[in-house]
Amino acid sequence: MDPPPVRIVARWPAHRRLVTDLALAGGAIGAVIGYATLGRTGLTGVLLGGAFGALGGALAGPRRYRLTVDREGVAIGRLTGTVRIRWADVGAVGIEDGWQGRRGVTAALAVGRRGDDWPITVPALSFQASGFRVGGRRPQDRLAEHRATLLPAIGAWAEARGVPVVPAHLDDWWDRNRTRLAAR
């Protein structure tokens, strides 16, 4: 018997990076438009563009970043569309750990699709801790509370379908096993 279907929508701070990136992009576009139209008072364009970009990210994140797991397979909502993977094509699921220099460390749920070079991360369950700190907790320790919520979202379905569940460093595991999985 299959577990109940799972549908997860991104909650803060999972889409924090989207909000930040769109605020920066909006600020840059606002600066160009502001200086082109207003001259020296174009700084207003930076502020307005950044605010509209951040608002767009805050609204788009929960609407687009979703994870759906059901009898058909896994659907991963991204900003530009949805990636659907049938259970027959899922090679493994697990936690992908990343290091991004000063930006910090990330922990994300990822799904490996047979034939792909790398696992596909799930933006709805992707968390980041800043690498810049003076005292306080290590970034890895700040991610620990989020790591505990990643695998239960898809683990029961993966086990029911006989898909390997990798508790850490899925990208390394995938690199070692993807040719074996593609042959199946």
pLDDT digits (tens, 9 = 90+) for 21-36: 888 899 899 888 888 8
pLDDT of residue 165: 95
pLDDT digits (tens, 9 = 90+) for 100-134: 766 678 888 999 999 889 999 998 888 888 766 66
pLDDT of residue 110: 94
pLDDT of residue 70: 94
pLDDT of residue 101: 64
Find residue 61's DSSP bridge partners.
none
pLDDT of residue 87: 95
Task: Provide CB contacts within 8 A for 119, sequence distance 6+.
Answer: 92, 94, 96, 110, 111, 112, 113, 170, 171, 174
**pTM of the entire structure?**
0.80
pLDDT of residue 136: 73
Characterize the bridge pairing of strands 73-77 and 105-113: unpaired
pLDDT of residue 184: 66
pLDDT of residue 39: 79
pLDDT of residue 103: 67
pLDDT of residue 92: 94
pLDDT of residue 43: 81
Residues of the chain with pLDDT under 50: none
CA–CA–CA angle 172, 86, 79 (5° rounding): 75
CA–CA–CA angle 168, 94, 163 (5° rounding): 130
